[in-house]
Amino acid sequence: MLGAIVICDGCGNEELSGSCSCSKCSHILDITYMNFFEILCVEEKFQLSKHQLKDNFIKKLQLFHPDLYCNKSAAEMDIATKNSSIVSRAYNMLLDPVSRARYLIEIKNIPIPNESGFITEVLEWNEKIEDTSSVLELQQLVEEVNRMLSIYKSQMEKDFSDMEYEKAAASYAKVKFFMRVLDSAKKRL
Ligand SMILES: [Zn+2]
């Protein structure tokens, strides 16, 4: 968490968390306890600048590149390797809007509703797919599902910007559902 204290392994200095190296002895600091937004120094929000995310990602990757630590202790090398790998995981998670949404909902400790919560809709769409046989009908269905998907994606974005995380979790569940419907419809094409 930002604002917390992290103790330097090298000299025992108390460093404010969020820093990547000790200000006294320049020993590398373990960042693996931070959440992915903190690791990439972006605000804990759904809306983010991909450009800034990429910039910060590259800076952090360079900072923790294991080559920079090959003359250091095994412990520092180990932290550099772990930091590098979590920086990449954080970037991949936050780059994709759908996985970013899931991650944000998870760190807010909001449960994601499952499909049994909108079972009627699930059954209706499954039936629609099964009943469609011609290519033309399937293409129309794919279009329709794409429309639903973009409606729920916009809704989810709005929920996040309103900081309505429970609503965002419900919209996320719909987004995932329509992504799955889209896959099944496309498979039949
Ligand atoms: Zn230190």
Mention every residue, 6+ apart, whose C-beta is less than 8 A from residue 174: 118, 148, 152, 155, 156
> Beta-carbon neighbour count of residue 20 at 10 Å?
16
Tell me how far the alpha carbon of residue 10 lies from the centroid of ligand 1, in angstroms: 5
Q: Give pairs for 133-140: CB < 8 Å, separation 24+.
A: 135/189, 138/185, 138/188, 138/189, 139/189
Contact 168, 159 (CB under 8 A): yes
Q: What is the location of CATH 1.20.1280.20 in the chain? A: 115-188
Q: Which two tokens mark 42?
A: 């972006």
What integer pLDDT is reported at residue 113 of this predicted model?
95
Q: What is the dihedral of CA 5, 109, 105, 29, to 10 degrees?
A: 20
How far, CA to CA in Å, does 157 sit from each of 44, 48, 90, 169? 14, 11, 20, 11
Tell me how far the alpha carbon of residue 29 lies from the centroid of ligand 1, in angstroms: 9
What integer pLDDT is reported at residue 1 of this predicted model?
47
Give the integer Cα–Cα distance in Å for 157 and 163. Answer: 10
Tell me how far the alpha carbon of residue 25 lies from the centroid of ligand 1, in angstroms: 4
Tell me how far the alpha carbon of residue 64 lies from the centroid of ligand 1, in angstroms: 16
Mention every residue, 6+ apart, whose C-beta is less than 8 A from residue 148: 174, 178, 181
Tell me how far the alpha carbon of residue 53 lies from the centroid of ligand 1, in angstroms: 28
Tell me how far the alpha carbon of residue 88 lies from the centroid of ligand 1, in angstroms: 25
Tell me how far the alpha carbon of residue 22 lies from the centroid of ligand 1, in angstroms: 5
What integer pLDDT is reported at residue 76 of this predicted model?
92
Tell me how far the alpha carbon of residue 20 lies from the centroid of ligand 1, in angstroms: 11
Tell me how far the alpha carbon of residue 141 lies from the centroid of ligand 1, in angstroms: 60
What integer pLDDT is reported at residue 3 of this predicted model?
59
Give the integer Cα–Cα distance in Å for 60 and 80. Answer: 11
Tell me how far the alpha carbon of residue 38 lies from the centroid of ligand 1, in angstroms: 21
| CATH number for the domain formed by residue range(s) 115-188 | 1.20.1280.20
Locate the DSSP E strands across the chain: 5-7, 14-16
Low-confidence stretches of the chain (pLDDT beneath 50): 1
Q: What is the location of CATH 1.10.287.110 in the chain? A: 5-95
Tell me how far the alpha carbon of residue 74 lies from the centroid of ligand 1, in angstroms: 16
**Check whether domain 5-95 has CATH 3.90.45.10, yes or no:** no
Tell me how far the alpha carbon of residue 69 lies from the centroid of ligand 1, in angstroms: 15
Contact 8, 29 (CB under 8 A): yes
**Does pTM surpass 0.75?**
yes
Tell me how far the alpha carbon of residue 6 lies from the centroid of ligand 1, in angstroms: 10
